[in-house]
């Protein structure tokens, strides 16, 4: 379970970073800015989080399928 909590905190940190990037320079209380490509901030954050999930999944699959080194040093 501790790994899940760490992953959840990592995701929260990543989400906050994305929000900070998309809202940099926005005045407090200002209407939500549009994200890249004219999409809403919510859509931009969700799109970026899906991209980050896909990257993490690909990285995890790569490390899981990496061949183990041969131990023929005898």
For residue 47, tell me if it sits in a domain.
yes
Q: What pLDDT is recorded for position 67?
A: 66
CA 37 remoteness from chain centre: 19
Give the structural domain span for 38: 34-63
Tokens of 68: 């183990």
Give a yes or no: residue 18 inside a domain. Answer: no
Does the residue 42 lie in any domain? yes
d(CA 13, CA 10): 5
In angstroms, what is the C-alpha Rg of the chain?
A: 19
Query: Within a domain: residue 11?
Result: no
> What is the torsion angle, in degrees rounded to the nearest 10, for the CA atoms of residue 37, residue 40, residue 42 and residue 45?
20
How many domains does the structure of the chain reveal?
A: 1
Per-residue confidence of the chain (74 residues) as pLDDT tens digits?
456 666 677 877 887 777 777 767 666 666 666 666 677 777 777 888 888 888 888 888 888 776 666 666 55
> What is the reported pLDDT for 29?
65
Q: What is the pTM of this model?
A: 0.46
């Amino acid at each position: 379970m501790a790994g899940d909590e760490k992953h959840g905190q990592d995701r929260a940190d990543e989400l906050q970073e994305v929000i900070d990037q998309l809202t940099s320079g926005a005045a407090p209380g200002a209407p939500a800015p549009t994200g890249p490509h004219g999409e809403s901030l919510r859509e931009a954050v969700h799109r970026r989080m899906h991209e980050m999930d896909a990257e993490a999944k690909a990285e995890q699959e790569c490390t899981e399928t990496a061949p183990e080194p041969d131990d023929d040093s005898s």
